[in-house]
Structure 1
Amino acid sequence: MKIVIIEDEILVAEDLVSNLKQINPDVEIVSILSSVKEAVDYFAVNPQPDLIFSDIQLGDGLSFEIAKKITIEVPVIFCTAFDEYALEAFRANGIEYILKPFSTESLQKALFKFQNMQKVMAGSIALKYEAAMATLAAKNKNSSNTIMIKYRDRLLPFTLDKIALFYLENEITYVQSHSGKTYAMTESLEELEHKVDTAFFRMNRQFLVNRNAIVDVTDYFPRKLKINLSFPFNKDIIVSREKRSKLLTWLTEH
C-alpha cells in the first residue's frame, strides 16, 4: 500500500510513519509533504498513491485547498485536532478522519475502514469538503459565536461568552478566558473586533473586553475611566476621555 502524508509538523509526520509501519510493515511511504503548495506541485507531476493521510490546517492554508487545484482520485484520511463538534459536519458528508493525538488503535480502525470503503471514500474530496463546511457554517450561525484558538497542534473552540478579553502585548495578541487560561493568537485586535459581537468593547489600542468580565468603572484623572475586572489582572485598562461617553452608553445598553 502506497501512502502520501501531508503534515507540516515533522515530529507528527514521523510518529505517523512509525505507527503505520508498526501496523503494516508492507506500507510504503511515498512522500511526506508539508504545505498546500508543496502538495499541489507534487501531485501535478507524480502519480497518486493508494491512500493519503493529511492534516487539515497547514502553514499556508487548509489542506482542502489542494483538492480544489488538483483532482484527488484516491481516499483521504484527515488527521486533525479539530474539536468533536466541528467534525460532525465531516462525518455527515462522508469524510474520514482521525483525531490528534492519534493512537495505533485509531490508525488501525481508519485503515480497516479504508479497506472496506475505498469507493465511498475516494473522489470528489473538494465537493465533500464544501458540503461539510456549509453544514458547519450553518450550525455556527444558529449557535453561539465561536472563536477557534490554535494551541500546539489543536484547535480549541471558545464561545464568546467564555472569553473575558483580548489584549495586545509586545505586538502579540492574546486571549484570556474567564477560567484564567491565556493563549496567543495570530489575528490582530482589529480582525478580532470584526469577529466578535456587541458584547465586546475596544477600550483602547491594547484591549478588547467582554462586558461580562467588567465589575465596574472608576474615574481616572483627568476625565478618563479605569476598567475593573471580575478577576485579578495585572494590567491597567484605561479608557480615554474621548471614548468615555461611548463606553458609558455601551455599559448601560449591555
Structure 2
Amino acid sequence: MKTIRTVVVEDEAVTSRNLIHLLGEIAHDIDIVSALSTVEEATTWFAGNENMYDLIFMDIRLADGLSFDIFKRIAIDKPVIFVTAYNDYAITAFRNNGIDYILKPFDEEEIANAVNKYKRWMGSATPHVLPVFADLAAQIGNLSKSYKKSFLIHYRDKLIPVETAKISWFYTANEIVYARTDDDRQFVMDFTMEQLEQQLEPDTFFRANRQFLINRRAITEVEFYFNGRLLVKVKPIAEMQILISKARVPEFKKWMNT
C-alpha cells in the first residue's frame, strides 16, 4: 500500500496533535512527514522538500500571517485540505490548490471524508486537475453558522451557565484556556482558542494575539506601544499585557471602528 506523505501546517499545538492523532486513527496509510507552525517555517520546508510529500492539511491564519502567503513565495503543486476556524477565506483557499475546506472544531468523520476525497481525486483520470469551482462553491453555501450565546462550564462539582456577553476575555496559558467574566470570575474552558474563535461573534470578540481573545465591551483604553504595537487595557485588569502586533494594528482599528 502506497503511503500518503502528509504535512500538517497548524500553529495551535493542541489542534495539531489532535489532527495528527485523528489522521493516524482513520487512515493507516498516512505518514506525517512534517508538522509546521508558521508561514516562515512552512515556506522554508516546502522550498527544500518539494518531492517529499503528497498532501497538505493547512490552517489559514497562522501566528505570523495567512498561509496563503506561502503560495505567494513558492510554487506548490500538491493538493491542500484547509482546516480553519474561518469561513471568510473559502474562495481564496480553493484558488490555492484546495480540494476541501473544513471548519473547526472538526471531527473524525469530516477528516475521514476529506482523506477519501483526496483518494478519489488521485484515482481519477486527470488527478492534476483541481476540483471545479461549482462543486466547491456549493460547499461554501453550507458554511453559515450561528454563534454561541452561552457556555455550560464545569466548575468544581457543578455545571454553570455563563452568558457569552458577560465574558470579558479568554486567555491561554500552558495549553489551558480560561475565561474571565465581567464580575472577575475565572473558569477553565473545554475548548482551544481556535475553537472559541469559531464559536464567537467576530464583531464582538477579537483575537488580539495567540494568548488573548477580547470582548469589545471589556476594552477601557488602547495605548501606543514599542515598535508600532498597541497595548490594550481591559476590565477586569489582565495579569499579562495584551499586545496587538504591528501587522494586526490596521485590522484591530477597523474592528474597533465598526
Please state which band the TM-score falls in when normalised by the shorter chain. 0.5 to 0.7
Deviates more, 1:51-60 or 1:87-96: 87-96
Q: Residue by residue, what CA displacement relative to the aligned partner does 1:49-104 show, whole Å, maximum 9, x if unpaired?
A: 1110011111111111111111111110111111x4x2564688665211222111
- Partner of 2:40, secondary structure, is helix
1:167 Cα deviation after fit: 2.6
Report the aligned-residue RMSD. 4.1
1: CA distance between counterparts of 2:11 and 2:39? 10
Letter in 2 for 1:186: I
Q: TM-score, normalised by structure 1?
A: 0.52
Q: TM-score, normalised by structure 2?
A: 0.52
Unpaired runs of at least 5, structure 1? 133-148, 177-183, 200-254
Letter in 2 for 1:43: F
Greater CA radius of gyration, 1 or 2? Answer: 1
* Structure-to-structure mapping, 1:165-204, within 5 angstroms: 166-168=219-221, 172-173=231-232, 186=244, 191=250, 192-193=252-253, 195-197=255-257
- Greater share of helix: 1
Note if 1:158 corresponds to 2:158. no
Counterpart of 1:28 in structure 2 is 31
Letter in 2 for 1:33: L
Note if 1:111 corresponds to 2:103. no
* Structure-to-structure mapping, 1:1-254, within 5 angstroms: 1-46=4-49, 47-82=51-86, 84=87, 86=88, 89=91, 96-118=100-122, 152-154=193-195, 155=197, 156-159=200-203, 164=217, 166-168=219-221, 172-173=231-232, 186=244, 191=250, 192-193=252-253, 195-197=255-257
Letter in 2 for 1:101: P
Unpaired runs of at least 5, structure 2? 138-168, 172-192, 205-214, 226-230, 236-241
Q: Check the 8 A contact 1:48/1:74 in 2, yes or no.
A: no
Q: How many positions carry a matched residue from both structures?
A: 168
Q: Check the 8 A contact 2:82/2:93 in 1, yes or no.
A: no
1: CA distance between counterparts of 2:68 and 2:84? 12
